[in-house]
A and B are shown apart, each in its own frame.
Chain A
Amino acid sequence: MNYDSPELLDRLAAEYVLGTLRGPARARFARLCAASTAARQALHRWEDDFSALSRALEPVQPSARVWLDLRRRIDAGGARSPRPSFWRRWSLAAAASLAAVALIVGLLVHEQRVSLQAVAVLGSDAAHPVWRVERAKELTALTIRVVGPVRAAPEKAYELWALPRGGKPVSLGLLPLGGRLERPLTEVQRAALLTADKLAVSIEPAGGSPTGSPTGPVVMVGSVLG
């Protein structure tokens, strides 16, 4: 095959990343990447581009055993070398081995304890989530994270609504255009959320709906999960 053709190189790189290049052709392209800067560049470009799809997935917490096994595996790898295992070296460096290990475990446990559960994911379609709405176990606040690109419209705002079964929509406030927002809930909002099976997003004037009900087009509706 003529690997000098940039078009061919680009297509092979794309299919390698996509995963549709399989078998011997896949192995050949991997070897080519080790040898050719052009191939590697094409590969990295597609890896970067397609990773937008991976970012959109809802994260899954690994079971606790994964970290423990991983630590053992790495430690075993270290033990085969003449140097002391990295855990030991690190622990010694940290002066108090137990305290240091506890720190790591603590970090993981903490991360799990505050882990939020998804209330809904809202987006233009399944492949393009824009906002992820989460709650802690106690429904006192919502955490809203922007997980995809938001197009800001001048003089407009995106407003989030709970749609309680058989009731009128209740505003959950304006949606952030970037980053993450934690919003404490009022009793009314809390009650609406507990009976809502859907959340919706409408486009409203800057500052939000003047009437307390959606006035602009409803651009997204997402089911309340769980």
Chain B
Amino acid sequence: MNSGKPDSAELEVLLARCAAKDAAALATLYVRVAPVLLAVVMRMLRRRDLAEDVLQDVFVKVWQQASQFDHIRGRPLAWLVSIARYRAIDLQRGSRPTLVLSDAEAALEPQLQVADPAERADAGMGSALLRCLELIGAPQRRCLVLAYEQGLTHHEIARTLGESLGTVKSWVRRSLLSLRRCMES
């Protein structure tokens, strides 16, 4: 199974070379992962200028702290994505343009249709997380995806879905538990 995205072994080598202050390695790393990280951050901040600032911050940090990448931890892309997402979350506080979230969301959804939901099982089994997300209820799944992909807070999710804050909090909490159990089974 190949994701078509940069592979871990290559990224690990590039990070090791960045740690040794090899500037060419930083350039290559940038070519490989900047578009992936920008996609992640733009979904969260919804503004290219802010997202590109975050992207720069991420690469400055990677350049300065590549040696902190734990090769035992593995999964370099997950590490890089996390740095980018956490930076975006820090910046979100108070500075996010308010949009009609449902419209914004609709605009961001790739145009996909499911011809026959009964055939979905044949269409592809997810990674553990994607597979387990399929198993929780649709509104609960939506909560998690809105939080992760768009960086919405409990309050924003509640507003988007028209549910109470308490409901959203307990949905998130319970679906995380189900996900963990499912991924361990």
Could you tell me which A residues sit within 8 Å of B by CB distance?
10-11, 14-15, 17-20, 22, 26, 44, 47-55, 57-63, 65-67, 69-70, 73-74, 77, 86-87, 89-90, 100, 103-104, 107-108, 111, 121-130, 132, 145-151, 153, 178-180, 200-201, 203, 217-223, 225
Alpha-carbon distance A14/B55, docked complex (angstroms): 23
Q: When the two chains form their complex, are residues B27 and A104 in contact, meaning their CB atoms are under 8 A apart?
A: yes
Q: What residues of chain A lie closer than 8 Å to B79, measured between beta carbons?
A: 47
Q: When the two chains form their complex, are residues A49 and B36 in contact, meaning their CB atoms are under 8 A apart?
A: no
- Classify the secondary structure of B's interface with A: helix
State the Cβ distance, B145 to closest chain A Cβ, in Å. Answer: 6
Q: What residues of chain B lie closer than 8 Å to A217, measured between beta carbons?
A: 115-116, 119, 122
Q: What residues of chain B lie closer than 8 Å to A200, measured between beta carbons?
A: 115
| Count: A-B pairs, CB below 8 Å | 232
Shortest Cβ distance from B74 into A: residue: A48
State the Cβ distance, A122 to closest chain B Cβ, in Å. Answer: 7
Q: What residues of chain B lie closer than 8 Å to A70, measured between beta carbons?
A: 30, 56, 59-60
Alpha-carbon distance A200/B152, docked complex (angstroms): 33
Tell which of A14, A19, A54 touches B36, judged by Cβ atoms closer than 8 Å: A54
Contact with A along B139-183 (1 / 0, CB 8 A): 001001101110111100100000000000000110011011001
State the Cβ distance, A150 to closest chain B Cβ, in Å. Answer: 5
Q: When the two chains form their complex, are residues A57 and B39 in contact, meaning their CB atoms are under 8 A apart?
A: yes
> Which range holds the interface residue count of chain B?
35 or more
Q: When the two chains form their complex, are residues B56 and A18 in contact, meaning their CB atoms are under 8 A apart?
A: no
Alpha-carbon distance A150/B177, docked complex (angstroms): 27
A-B contact pairs, 16 of them (CB 8 A): A10-B180, A11-B176, A19-B148, A51-B82, A54-B40, A55-B77, A59-B39, A62-B52, A63-B52, A70-B60, A90-B22, A107-B31, A123-B112, A149-B125, A219-B123, A222-B113
B32-87 residues at the A interface, CB under 8 angstroms: 34-36, 38-40, 42-43, 48, 52, 55-56, 59-60, 63-64, 73, 75, 77-79, 81-82, 85
State the Cβ distance, A62 to closest chain B Cβ, in Å. Answer: 5
| 5 tightest A-B CB contacts, nearest first | A59-B35, A145-B4, A51-B78, A124-B123, A223-B111
B107 contacts partner chain A, Cβ-Cβ < 8 Å: no
B104 contacts partner chain A, Cβ-Cβ < 8 Å: no
Alpha-carbon distance A21/B147, docked complex (angstroms): 10
Given contacts A57-B39, A147-B3, 18 further A-B contacts (CB under 8 A): A14-B180, A19-B148, A47-B79, A54-B39, A59-B35, A60-B39, A65-B52, A69-B56, A74-B60, A104-B24, A107-B28, A111-B31, A128-B130, A147-B5, A178-B2, A217-B119, A218-B115, A219-B116
State the Cβ distance, B63 to closest chain A Cβ, in Å. Answer: 6
Q: When the two chains form their complex, are residues B23 and A125 in contact, meaning their CB atoms are under 8 A apart?
A: no
Q: When the two chains form their complex, are residues A20 and B172 in contact, meaning their CB atoms are under 8 A apart?
A: yes
B129 contacts partner chain A, Cβ-Cβ < 8 Å: yes
Shortest Cβ distance from A218 into B: residue: B115
Q: When the two chains form their complex, are residues B119 and A66 in contact, meaning their CB atoms are under 8 A apart?
A: no
Contact with A along B90-124 (1 / 0, CB 8 A): 00000000000000000001111111100111111
Tell which of A103, A147, A220 touches B24, judged by Cβ atoms closer than 8 Å: A103
Shortest Cβ distance from B93 into A: residue: A22
Contacts A49-B183, A66-B52, A90-B23; is A151 near B125 (CB within 8 Å)? Answer: yes
Interface centre among A58, A67, A200 (most CB of B within 10 A): A67
Q: When the two chains form their complex, are residues B60 and A19 in contact, meaning their CB atoms are under 8 A apart?
A: no
Q: When the two chains form their complex, are residues A52 and B28 in contact, meaning their CB atoms are under 8 A apart?
A: no
State the Cβ distance, A166 to closest chain B Cβ, in Å. Answer: 19
Q: What residues of chain A lie closer than 8 Å to B114, measured between beta carbons?
A: 124-125, 220-221
